[in-house]
């Protein structure tokens, strides 16, 4: 393993082309790696602790940054990530674990991530202090080649090849609406509403079997946040009210299990309100 680590390299190469005063086109290539190792887990059966290989990622991206007008800004990019020996969660058989298998960090195989992102900021001149920001992302992340196998929750063996990557939602988007206005000559008020939505974090295509999906699947969800503030810029202070998940959406941020046969859903933060004060000095 040491020879593999010693022989690797990382770097970045980028090219920018300013097509006009308002448009920049770019292309870049990056290479990075994560060291290999072994997963230290709760078990007295050291033979069950898997050794995972070094992960290498070759990343390619092409994009554009533009200001079509004084009121509009648009950015877009497409990218391709080529992972070799990518690391991730696997299940290895272990007589020492009560459930009969050990959840560990291991080598999944090779993976490809193909994606696109677009974001836009609109600040109309006819509406001073008003702005709308939109962002959209699409991602296809899949284990394309693998000689490795894992175990589902019934200890049946499944190949990892062809599975989608979990925690890589296929689509996600956000919308932010903001308004600023002078309350008095010295006070500036602002209000912002942000809605963020993401696709399933662990859909059926990421799971080994139907039983895994029933225990570990994670559905899509959307969260609405509110921000209200009043500030005195010249005196350097601001008072704000922040509302997070104001619709009290119930959603799972992570579904997981332990090696004792228990499973749990980690829920996102419920509706939360806070009052904040900031002073600059």
The residue behind tokens 């497409």 is 78
* CA terminus-to-terminus distance, the chain: 53
pLDDT value at position 41? Answer: 62
Region of 109 please: left (phi>0), alpha (psi -120 to 50) or beta: left
* pTM of this structure: 0.86
Q: How far apart are CA 10 and CA 35, in angstroms?
A: 12
pLDDT reading at 3 higher than 50? no
Q: Which CATH class is domain 2-279?
A: mainly beta
235: which DSSP letter?
T
Q: For the residues 55-82, what does the mean pLDDT come to? A: 97
pLDDT class of 99 with cuts at 50, 70, 90: low
pLDDT reading at 124 higher than 90? yes
The residue behind tokens 């225990």 is 215
Contact residues for 88 (Cβ-Cβ < 8 A; gap 6+): 105, 106, 108, 165
CA torsion 88-89-95-97 (nearest 10°) is 140
pLDDT value at position 1? Answer: 40
Contact residues for 57 (Cβ-Cβ < 8 A; gap 6+): 30, 31, 32, 33, 81, 82, 83, 84, 86
Contact residues for 105 (Cβ-Cβ < 8 A; gap 6+): 39, 50, 52, 87, 88, 89, 90
Q: For the residues 2-22, what does the mean pLDDT come to? A: 82
pLDDT reading at 43 higher than 70? no
Inter-residue contact 87 to 52 (CB < 8 Å): yes
Inter-residue contact 273 to 249 (CB < 8 Å): no
Q: For the residues 45-61, what does the mean pLDDT come to? A: 84
118: which DSSP letter?
E
pLDDT value at position 59? Answer: 98
> How high is the mean pLDDT of the chain?
89
Q: List the Cα angle 53/54/58 in 5-degree steps.
A: 130
DSSP element (H, E) containing 257:
strand 252-257
pLDDT class of 32 with cuts at 50, 70, 90: very high
Give the range among 34-38, 58-62, 176-180, 189-193 with minimum mean pLDDT.
34-38
């Amino acid at each position: 393993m040491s020879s593999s680590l010693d022989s690797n390299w990382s770097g970045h190469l980028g090219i920018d082309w300013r097509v006009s005063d308002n448009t920049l086109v770019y292309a870049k290539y990056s290479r990075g790696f994560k060291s290999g190792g072994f997963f230290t887990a709760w078990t007295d059966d050291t033979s069950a602790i898997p050794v995972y290989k070094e992960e290498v990622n070759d990343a390619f991206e092409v994009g554009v940054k533009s200001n079509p007008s004084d009121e509009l800004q648009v950015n877009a990019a497409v990218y391709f990530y080529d992972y070799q020996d990518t690391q991730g969660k696997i299940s290895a058989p272990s007589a020492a674990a009560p459930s009969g298998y050990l959840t560990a960090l291991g080598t999944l195989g090779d993976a490809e991530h193909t994606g696109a992102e677009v974001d836009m900021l609109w600040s109309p001149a006819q509406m001073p202090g008003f702005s709308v920001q939109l962002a959209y992302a699409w991602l296809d992340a899949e284990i394309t080649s693998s000689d490795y196998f894992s175990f589902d929750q019934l200890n049946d063996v499944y190949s990892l090849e062809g599975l989608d990557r979990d925690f890589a939602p296929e689509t996600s988007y956000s919308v932010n609406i903001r308004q600023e206005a002078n309350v008095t000559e010295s006070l500036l008020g602002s209000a912002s509403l942000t809605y963020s939505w993401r696709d399933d974090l662990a859909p059926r295509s990421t799971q080994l079997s139907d039983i895994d999906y029933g225990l570990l699947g994670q559905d899509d969800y959307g969260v609405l946040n509110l921000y209200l503030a009043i500030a005195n810029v010249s005196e350097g202070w601001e008072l704000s009210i922040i509302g997070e998940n104001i619709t009290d959406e119930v959603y799972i941020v992570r579904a997981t299990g332990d090696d004792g046969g228990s499973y749990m859903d980690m829920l996102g933060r419920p509706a939360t309100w806070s009052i904040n004060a900031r002073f600059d000095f």
